[in-house]
Chain A
């Protein structure tokens, strides 16, 4: 069964450093998302991406964040200058259409900012 993959599974970085989290969505899906989950808290929406551009973004997704689909398979989230409060689990998700359809989540990247 096709699945969303994410790399790395765990990333440790120092405050102020840039990190890039990578995702390979399911191949025939058109809609892509990033969510994050701080330990013990809710899964929170960050950004959605369709047709090579951002569709919507949350208040969390400020100028320090960016997303890119550099080729036909990868979808990346970049954090330019990490803060301690960026420590969280970051999930990539994809769906074959917007609206009602279920989303398929990757296993996540645990980001630890020290």
Chain B
């Protein structure tokens, strides 16, 4: 079955450093991957989308890469701040080729940025 996996449950880093989060997918080839931020007790908030034909996408301090050979996406936050502390979710469309954007999510990586 299609799987999105985020193997690191938690990542602790010092303020100012770059956080790198990993998302792996198995048993399918997603047309895109999306990254969301989720704060405790809140709904996911969209951050970035990268398509399979894009190697890299940037938005302010965020950067996401997509490696179809490794079946992996990396999500980077540069110059991290305590306010970046949250759970970050990787997601992709569940049924490739379908018209709907039903998402399958990874379990998320909880990022803690210490001052």
Q: Mark A residues whose CB is within 8 Å of B.
A: 4, 31, 33, 35, 41-45, 48, 50, 55-56, 58, 89, 91, 93, 95, 98-108, 110
Q: How far is the CA of A92 from the CA of B100 in the complex (A)?
A: 15
Q: How far is the CA of A107 from the CA of B38 in the complex (A)?
A: 10
Tell me whether B107 and A105 are in contact (CB under 8 A): no
Given A100-B31, A102-B34, A108-B41 contact (CB < 8 Å): yes
Tell me whether A103 and B100 are in contact (CB under 8 A): no
| Contacts A/B (CB < 8 Å), 16 sampled | A31-B101, A42-B105, A42-B106, A43-B91, A43-B105, A48-B100, A50-B100, A55-B99, A56-B102, A58-B102, A98-B99, A98-B100, A98-B101, A99-B100, A103-B101, A107-B43
Assess whether B58 is interfacial by the CB under 8 Å rule: no
Q: Distance in Å from the Cβ of B63 to the closest Cβ of chain A?
A: 17
Tell me whether B43 and A31 are in contact (CB under 8 A): no
Interface residues of B in 63-103 (CB under 8 A from A): 89, 91, 93-95, 98-103
Closest to B51 in A: A100
Q: Report the contact-size class of chain B (Cβ under 8 Å from the partner).
A: 20 to 34
Given A56-B95, A100-B32, A108-B41, A31-B100 contact (CB < 8 Å): yes
Tell me whether B107 and A41 are in contact (CB under 8 A): yes
Q: How far is the CA of A7 from the CA of B100 in the complex (A)?
A: 25
Q: How far is the CA of A32 from the CA of B112 in the complex (A)?
A: 32
Closest to A46 in B: B102
Q: How far is the CA of A108 from the CA of B43 in the complex (A)?
A: 6
Given A91-B44, A100-B49, A107-B43, A33-B34 contact (CB < 8 Å): no
**Besides A42-B107, A45-B103, A107-B42, 12 other CB < 8 A contacts?**
A43-B91, A48-B100, A48-B101, A48-B102, A55-B100, A56-B94, A56-B102, A89-B41, A103-B46, A104-B46, A105-B45, A106-B43
Assess whether B104 is interfacial by the CB under 8 Å rule: yes
